[in-house]
Structure 1
Amino acid sequence: MLRIHFGEVDLARTRIAVAPDPLWEIAASLHRIQSRRGRWAYAGWYRSVRQRLREKGLERVLRGVFLPLYPRAAYFPDFLTPADAVGDLDAGVESILATPEQRVLKEMAILDRTIGAPSWAGQLARLEARKEFVGMLRAYYDAVVAPYEEQAQARIEAERAQRSRGLLDGGVEGMLAGLGPMLRWRAPVLEVTYPKQADDRDLHLNGRGLTLVPSYFNWGEPVAFADPELPPVLWYSLLHEQSPPPETPQGAGAPDAPLITLLGRARALALSATSAGATTGEIARAAGVSASSASRHATALRDAGLVTTIRNGPAVLHTLTPAGASLLRAATQRTPG
């Protein structure tokens, strides 16, 4: 467990990122490739990612470079996900290139002690090797992460809307209290559930505040920098919809039968899809219906006071109201397991 200790100044300086962190999404997507956890939530992405990597000639780079540097383990090098990369891939790449040689060597040594670093890892201390590496990162991002930028941004907008509601009701402490099952606010400490292999540790903010970065590809594995001297940043999971794809049979995690009886299967799936915010297109995919049907379901749920709809650029974003959240939570609690 990570315990983040807040002071009054830290509460005032805590914020939620306005956009995804491209370099962290690269890391989190590589963790998804290494795990079956939450695979149903990324079913479409899983179907396409291998093909895209093959088409771009990145399969050998994936196996030989990325997976050894980004293990799904207690540690991977901090310099690969710089704090100033939120919403800006170019800025993040420049930070990687500007990393001092000694820091690269230090973090590669930590990786080696933790899980074992590849024999060539120390070469990344050289600027020319890092230039080649960031070229690979850009190619991977374009193939694997960039096609999902719109969905990721929509999710973060929905998350910010939900957290803003907590902020209005209870200040920053109210916002922190609603961050989800992996993050528990016990004033003045935010307790973060880390992967089992990670050691317990404490992070004292000491007036620096905390940047919270919702992550599209993170699945229940919140992460902060291992080095306590780096800017305090916490990446955490959006957890996506809490229902499986529409083809999953009842009894294997589909919406509870009473909720389906009340709303109908498609509308119950539509309601569940809005738990982390969803566009009309995302509702259509989650419920397995056409876009026009998804729009009608969203309108019916909005008229019933279960969802609210806001415009997000050219699209609209549907999120749960307190009544919708209560209904969905009650249905989830009724589901065995």
Structure 2
Amino acid sequence: MAGVLRIHFTERDFRHVQLARSADPIWEAILGLHVLTGPRHRLPRHLGTWRRRAAERLGSARLRAACRLLNDLAPADAPYFPDFLTPAESEEGMSAALSTLRATSDARLARELREAARHRALPRWTGQLASGDRELLGRVADALLRVHTELVAPDWSRVAATVAADAERRAVALEGGLVALLAGLPPFVWRDPVLTAPYPVDFDLRLRGRGLRLIPSFFCHTTPIAVADPALPPVVVYPVSREPPTPPAAGRQAPALAALLGASRARVLGALTVASTTGSVAAGLGLSASSVSGHLKVLRAAGLVESRRDGARVTHRLTSRGHHLLGH
């Protein structure tokens, strides 16, 4: 990797770090397209499998055209692509994001496309977009919606559950303080007061008291991605951790636990070494949510697991008896 991303914190920034707890539809659409069009040999196995399935969905001429249009603006190998493609409003959902994108000012379109042209040759049609062509901007928004709907949405339950599982693990790490969270966030390295990671170019992100929004992504798989414009709220998208770490004691006792509880139920119990939702456990273990829910009911009745509701979410964690059974 040619460069390094350096995120510079001040004391005030530590009070304003946000960790997204759900998948971002715009980022997943763009990064899913990167998985589909980027080098195959760099993909982890689970994304290679997704890419083969996604390629089978490319029968529609309109979908292929949408992919080509977005690839012109945000190719997988680009060290920079325009920030207007990933509005912060995407945390409120696809509709809010696309409304914001369609309202991008002419000045911003020109500025960010001029910056993109510094890094690579752009197709001629982007000149019209840079001049504020509203019809073209609408086509970009439509292309993002089509890519999300036809390529990413068919696997959204898996995407969402995997991202939620990662967010749960980070939230547990955060109980040890923000430094504990940052220090355990691959592929980053924390050296107070700077968080660094491999990056396509050398880039310094100075937070200046604004804090940082961290967004876990299913399709991000090489390096983190930072919003480039220093005037925008700082955002960094990072690759999810696919599986929670398996405690050594649980690994040693696995055969005995499987004999006692049954193989699947023992795996569910072991997955709760960090607080998790039913969906995140199901995604991490490759089981159905209904199956995991059944195992949780039995483990809860045995006093090994407790479940707590927090708004619309129900989080499960080990009781002291569950920790003892796992040898913690």
What TM-score do you get using the length of structure 2 for normalisation? 0.74
Q: Deviations over 1:265-285 (max 9, x none)?
A: 867976897799876677667
Residue 334 of structure 1 is matched in structure 2 by: none
Residues 109, 220 of structure 1: alpha-carbon distance in 2 compared, 3 angstrom cutoff: same
- CA distance in 1 between counterparts of 2:264 and 2:215 reads 31
Q: Provide the secondary structure at the position in 2 that maps to 1:194.
A: strand
> Would the aligned equivalents of 2:267 and 2:285 in 1 still touch at CA under 8 Å?
yes
> Would the aligned equivalents of 2:80 and 2:119 in 1 still touch at CA under 8 Å?
yes
Residue 213 of structure 2 is matched in structure 1 by: 211
Residue 326 of structure 2 is matched in structure 1 by: none
Residue 221 of structure 1 is matched in structure 2 by: 223
Matches within 5 A, 1:17-96: 17-33=20-36, 34-36=38-40, 37-42=42-47, 45-55=50-60, 57-62=62-67, 64-73=68-77, 74-96=79-101
Matches within 5 A, 1:122-141: 122-125=127-130, 126-141=133-148
Q: State the 1:58 CA deviation.
A: 0.8
Residue 158 of structure 1 is matched in structure 2 by: 165
Q: State the 1:11 CA deviation.
A: 0.7
Residues 87, 239 of structure 1: alpha-carbon distance in 2 compared, 3 angstrom cutoff: farther
> Would the aligned equivalents of 1:56 and 1:143 in 2 still touch at CA under 8 Å?
no
> Would the aligned equivalents of 1:155 and 1:238 in 2 still touch at CA under 8 Å?
yes
Structure 2 residue corresponding to 1:145, chosen from 148, 152, 164: 152
> Which amino acid is the alignment partner of residue 157 of structure 2?
E
Q: State the 1:188 CA deviation.
A: 1.5
Name the stretch that deviates more: 303-312 or 96-105: 303-312
Structure 2 residue corresponding to 1:8, chosen from 11, 19, 23: 11
Structure 1 residue corresponding to 2:195, chosen from 190, 199, 216: 190
Name the stretch that deviates more: 300-309 or 287-296: 300-309
Taking only the aligned residue pairs, the percentage that are identical comes to: 38
- CA distance in 2 between counterparts of 1:10 and 1:214 reads 19
- CA distance in 1 between counterparts of 2:274 and 2:145 reads 28
Unaligned runs of 5+ in 1: 244-256, 326-337
Residue 175 of structure 1 is matched in structure 2 by: 181
> Would the aligned equivalents of 2:19 and 2:215 in 1 still touch at CA under 8 Å?
yes
- CA distance in 2 between counterparts of 1:52 and 1:72 reads 19
Residues 87, 166 of structure 1: alpha-carbon distance in 2 compared, 3 angstrom cutoff: same
Unaligned runs of 5+ in 2: 246-250, 324-328
> Would the aligned equivalents of 2:215 and 2:238 in 1 still touch at CA under 8 Å?
yes
- CA distance in 2 between counterparts of 1:220 and 1:127 reads 33
> Would the aligned equivalents of 1:21 and 1:86 in 2 still touch at CA under 8 Å?
yes
Aligned-residue Cα RMSD (Å) equals 4.0
Q: How many residues align?
A: 308
Q: Deviations over 1:225-279 (max 9, x none)?
A: 1222221111111132379xxxxxxxxxxxxx97876666867976897799876
Residues 281, 289 of structure 1: alpha-carbon distance in 2 compared, 3 angstrom cutoff: same
> Would the aligned equivalents of 1:270 and 1:286 in 2 still touch at CA under 8 Å?
no
- CA distance in 2 between counterparts of 1:66 and 1:121 reads 11
What TM-score do you get using the length of structure 1 for normalisation? 0.73
- CA distance in 2 between counterparts of 1:218 and 1:319 reads 28
Q: State the 1:134 CA deviation.
A: 1.0
Q: Deviations over 1:187-211 (max 9, x none)?
A: 21111x234xx22222211111111
